[in-house]
């Protein structure tokens, strides 16, 4: 295969030291660059399209990060796209609105449709559409997607309330943290759609499959990324802390490392070092007494009390103003995870016989309940 001087793997990245994140994603990156190199346009005004790419792997392994890098790599190879990548989290879309949001709808198609509205496919025209958590698509939407998958770089979609087919040039990348072949056996995913998607499948390994050295370097990498948000940026890990990082399995993978490092920076006891206890990894993210003494009906109060305690630490001159918004978002996410975990463990005390009902009581989606259950099951293996 001819070498391309603009190939980031062979050019820019080889000219400098790779980051730990690039080392972890090295195999997927090489596959990505080879695919793009082989579909490189002959002329800048004649863009060739990529095949549908299926990214698989556990939650937090870097699939979204990888997909987001496609823009930069395609530009390096001379692709003259007008639009940047459009990312859609399928699990966050209400099941009854998935078709409307993806394909768009006509004025008057349903109550409240006051004007003709584009969907994510139209928004991604002349660019890349990234559908994350494709396993959460409803069976009805799967049938629609089967017809809409790009052929020769052209997706054919029909808006809700219309019968005309729109031809949209775009690349499609989908990702899943589920085993789609098992979902097919369980009749939860269409077999024909699975085979249409499974042309070029790129698997992302879990972080526990990498050695301790990579995990430690990844933590240092995120420490360097986040330190500028803090008033006291000169901070390092203690040797015991790094050893713990290297031995920990990280069931949440890269995302968990990123969040743990940021949380440690936020709540550390000493300004100049991060200790083993600052990471909060060996024990659950809350005092053990909360789980044993709190009733399910008190979960919101427990979360609020914990949030207030963490917020006091958060505001103790540790963050610059630029980092405060991100810190609040992180705290809210972790506390919501905690509430859902406690509710699942105590669900026998609820009148909730299904994940959907439990999600309704907690104000979150059924798919979110399912993801937390899977994470809990994985952490107990």
Digit-coded pLDDT (tens) for 57-74: 998 888 888 888 877 777
pLDDT for 352: 53
pLDDT for 176: 93
The answer to whether the beta carbons of residues 219 and 258 sit under 8 Å apart is no
- In this structure, of 18-32, 60-74, 119-133, the range with the lowest mean pLDDT score is 18-32
The answer to whether the beta carbons of residues 361 and 340 sit under 8 Å apart is no
Confidence of residue 50 (pLDDT cuts 50, 70, 90): confident
Domains of the chain: 20-205 (3.40.50.300), 210-379 (1.10.8.60)
Share of the chain above pLDDT 70, in %: 62
Alpha-carbon separation of residue 186 from 27, 90, 199, 358 (angstroms): 31, 20, 21, 23
Q: What is the pLDDT of residues 224-275, one digit of tens each?
A: 888 887 777 788 999 999 999 999 989 889 988 988 898 888 888 888 889 8
Is pLDDT of 139 > 60? yes
At which residue do the structure tokens 């349903």 appear?
Answer: 110
Confidence of residue 111 (pLDDT cuts 50, 70, 90): confident
What is the Cα–Cα distance from 175 to 34, expressed in whole angstroms?
19
Is pLDDT of 302 > 80? no
Query: Within 10 A of 104 (CB to CB), how many other CB atoms are there?
Result: 23
Q: Quick check: helix, strand or coil at residue 41?
A: coil
pLDDT for 268: 84
Confidence of residue 17 (pLDDT cuts 50, 70, 90): low
Is pLDDT of 200 > 90? no
Is pLDDT of 12 > 50? no
What is the Cα–Cα distance from 48 to 288, expressed in whole angstroms?
56
More confident residue, 229 or 327: 229
- In this structure, of 38-42, 106-110, 131-135, the range with the lowest mean pLDDT score is 38-42
Which residues 6+ apart lie within 8 Å of 353 measured at CB? Answer: none
pLDDT for 15: 44
How much is the CA Rg of the chain, to the nearest whole Å? 23
Is pLDDT of 317 > 80? no
Per-residue b/e over 49-79, b at no fewer than 16 CB within 10 Å?
A: bbebbbbbbbbbbbbbbbbebbbebbebbeb
pTM: 0.68
Is pLDDT of 372 > 50? yes
Structure tokens that stand for 59 in this block: 């939650």
Is pLDDT of 43 > 60? no
- C-alpha torsion angle, residues 274, 277, 283, 288 (rounded to 10): -130
Is pLDDT of 213 > 80? yes
pLDDT for 78: 63
Q: What is the pLDDT of residues 154-197, one digit of tens each?
A: 999 999 999 999 999 888 999 999 999 999 999 999 999 999 99
Helices in the chain by DSSP H: which ranges?
20-24, 26-38, 63-68, 70-76, 98-103, 120-123, 139-148, 180-185, 191-197, 212-226, 239-247, 253-267, 276-279, 288-293, 299-314, 321-345, 355-362, 366-379
The answer to whether the beta carbons of residues 128 and 173 sit under 8 Å apart is yes
pLDDT for 80: 55
Share of the chain above pLDDT 90, in %: 25
pLDDT for 360: 67
Is pLDDT of 48 > 80? no
pLDDT for 156: 93
């Amino acid at each position: 295969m001819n070498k391309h001087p603009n190939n980031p793997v062979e050019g820019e990245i080889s000219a400098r030291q790779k980051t730990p994140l690039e080392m972890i994603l090295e195999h997927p990156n090489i596959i990505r660059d080879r695919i793009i190199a082989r579909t490189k346009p002959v002329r800048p005004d004649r863009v060739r399209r990529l095949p549908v790419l299926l990214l698989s792997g556990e939650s937090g392994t870097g699939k979204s990060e990888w997909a987001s890098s496609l823009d930069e790599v395609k530009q390096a190879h001379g692709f003259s796209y007008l639009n940047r990548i459009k990312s859609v989290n399928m699990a966050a879309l209400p099941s009854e609105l998935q078709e409307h949001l993806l394909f768009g709808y006509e004025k008057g198609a349903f109550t409240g449709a006051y004007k003709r509205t584009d969907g994510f496919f139209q928004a991604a025209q002349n660019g890349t559409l990234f559908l994350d958590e494709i396993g959460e698509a409803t069976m009805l939407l799967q049938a629609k997607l089967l017809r809409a998958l790009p052929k020769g770089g052209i997706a054919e979609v029909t808006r809700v309330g219309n019968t005309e087919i729109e031809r949209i040039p775009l690349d499609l990348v989908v990702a899943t943290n589920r085993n789609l072949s098992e979902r097919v056996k369980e009749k939860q995913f269409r077999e024909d759609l699975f085979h249409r998607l499974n042309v070029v499948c790129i698997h992302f390994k879990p972080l526990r499959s990498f050695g301790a050295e990579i995990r430690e370097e990844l933590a240092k990498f995120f420490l360097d990324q986040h330190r500028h948000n803090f008033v006291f940026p000169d901070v390092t890990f203690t040797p015991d802390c790094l050893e713990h990082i290297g031995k920990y399995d990280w069931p949440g993978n890269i995302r968990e490392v990123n969040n743990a490092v940021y949380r440690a920076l936020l709540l550390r006891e000493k300004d100049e070092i991060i200790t083993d206890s600052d990471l909060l990894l060996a024990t659950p993210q809350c005092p053990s007494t909360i789980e044993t003494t709190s009733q399910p009906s008190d979960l919101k109060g427990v979360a609020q009390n914990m949030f207030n305690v963490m917020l006091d630490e958060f505001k103790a001159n540790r963050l610059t103003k630029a980092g405060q918004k991100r810190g609040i978002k992180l705290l809210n996410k972790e506390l919501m995870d905690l509430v859902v975990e406690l509710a699942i463990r105590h669900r026998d005390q609820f009148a909730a016989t299904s994940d959907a009902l439990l999600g309704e009581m907690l104000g979150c989606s059924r798919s979110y309940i399912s993801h937390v259950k899977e994470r809990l099951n994985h952490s107990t293996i």
